[in-house]
Structure 1
């Protein structure tokens, strides 16, 4: 990946310098026995080794943090992390339990954020405690979105263009109202419905949608909102044959709440001629 920092989630995500990571891919035994070198350095520098050890010990001791088949339980795990968050924060470190889902599976990790280095300029976008409840459900996975990101799905079937113009999702409406962007939003929606489709079948065309988003990006940016068109495609096998399902959506990002957020499936970096995991 081109970003500088530490790769996590099998290389699908990068955290910047100033964030130490502990991936949760080896169960309780690995968590209790092995601390990554970069994290150990940060904890030692911040005099947090004792607090970290206590948190890990509590996670390991609590039976409900991990299921019978080895799956971490996010709510129970994060409830223990929450007990120690203030202790970490008092010494300049924020802690977040993060989770990213894809067709390849679910990846979890802990982020230890050096506040002295990053301040409020970094927000972990996969923080399970900061999810908004919005989700895009595909055939094989569920993509979840944090607070500060509003999502408008572009349905594949039915009269999608009419539905786009007639109904606004609650999270999008709240953000547009807060940022005084309702007029600009309506212009964007109208333009998507008119110019974001193919000539013959009038289905969504990702190349044209990117052009539409680009044409409107500046007016949203001036009011603190970034806009992206995202997509994912999945091949569904029927034995000797199959078909491809397409999922497309627009993301509105409040840069005050999500200063470093980048879409998981940004159409600018992921072409539609490949299957995206």
Structure 2
């Protein structure tokens, strides 16, 4: 099964990686391929990494073997050649220092998308940012070669607009994933006050409002410690395990996720901030999605008030 993840973007200034001329890890068509960002794509998907510094020249002059093999087999290499030539000549797709401009990049890609689709190929611009830097790549998807349903998790054009901000980062989520944060301050009260709009739409679409109300009541009642001041991960996990079959029966998977960050106080030490949220995944829209920060992998408490 293909593992896809939530997009994490650093709030500080964007910096670049992979400008040393090294090549991405590539598989041949028919094998899984791992990008430099650590994201793995399945059989039927070929990847072309995008350099940030003078990336337009490499895009125009070099084509990864796996991409060339896929496009040649689909009779789409001439479309690709026109696409990369246009992208390289269109200066609006890049800033003064050569940084790709995502919106302008997508506007050029859209000019050729129908031609690619006519050949049985879907092309997506993907982007992932973290403390290690910013990665961009193109995914060329042979829709007939996929063994399982696949949606590019990092597709820039498929972000929903949902943002969960932490101390140093902001997490962005794709369409088909709805998020509800478990707040530290008055967290139980806020769960009952208002449903996030994206979540409400997902629940109504899948006729899950009744199940959701039961789940939230259970989380509020039993998802905290004895003194009512901590979200307890193990209790939250146990609650979700009980409700997962109800949601899955209607095409939605549910996960508890978390992130922790150390906040320095300089010479006075520091403290750790904890962030918790529940992700609701509509499998009709996100068949291959897996949360990057699934709380099943760690056991930590989150203080609430």
**Does the alignment reach a TM-score above 0.5?**
yes
CA contact (8 A) 1:65 1:72 kept: yes
Counterpart for residue 166 of structure 1:
193
Higher relative CO (Cα under 8 Å, sequence separation at least 6) belongs to 2
Q: Secondary structure at the match of 2:226?
A: coil
Residues 90 and 227 (structure 1), Cα distance of their counterparts in 2 relative to 1, 3 Å cut: same
Find the residue that maps to 2:129 and give its secondary structure.
strand
Q: 1:10 to 1:272 in 2, by over 3 A?
A: farther
Match of 2:26 in 1: none
Equivalent of 2:37, from 10, 28, 43? 10
Deviation at 1:251, TM superposition (A): 0.8
- The alignment's TM-score, normalised by the length of structure 1, stands at 0.91
Task: Flag the 1:132–1:177 CA change in 2: closer, same or farther, 3 A.
Answer: same
For residues 20-44 of structure 1, what are the alpha-carbon distances to aligned partners after superposition, in whole Å with 9 as ceiling and x for unaligned? 1112135222222222221111011
Alignment coverage as a number of residue pairs: 270
* Residues 1:219 and 2:246 aligned together: yes
State how far apart, in whole Å, the 2-side matches of 1:271 and 1:115 are: 39
Deviation at 1:138, TM superposition (A): 1.7
| Maintained 8 Å contact 2:224/2:231 | yes
**Contact 1:103–1:140 (CA under 8 A) maintained in structure 2:** no
> Which residue matches 2:24?
none
Asked if 1:251 corresponds to 2:279, the answer is yes
Does the 8 A contact of 1:103 with 1:141 survive in 2?
A: no
SS in 2 for 1:175: helix
Picking from 119, 131, 135, the partner of 1:91 is 119
| TM-aligned CA distance change 1:164 to 1:19, over 3 Å | same
Is structure 2 residue 48 aligned with structure 1 residue 22? yes
Deviation at 1:125, TM superposition (A): 1.6
Structure 1 segments unaligned to the other structure (5+ residues):
none
Superposed counterparts of 1:1-277, under 5 Å: 5-11=32-38, 13-26=39-52, 27-118=55-146, 121-156=149-184, 158-200=185-227, 202-240=229-267, 241-269=269-297, 272=300
Q: 1:62-84: CA deviations, max 9, x gaps?
A: 11212123322110001111111
Gaps of 5+ in 2: 4-30
Q: Secondary structure at the match of 1:28?
A: helix
User: TM-score under structure 2 normalisation?
Assistant: 0.83
**Alpha-carbon RMSD:** 2.0
- The Cα shift of 1:223 comes to 0.4
CA distance in 1 between partners of 2:70 and 2:300 (Å): 41
* Secondary structure in 2 matching 1:53: helix
Q: Distance in 1 between matches of 2:211 and 2:187?
A: 20
**Conserved? CA contact 1:102–1:142, under 8 Å:** no
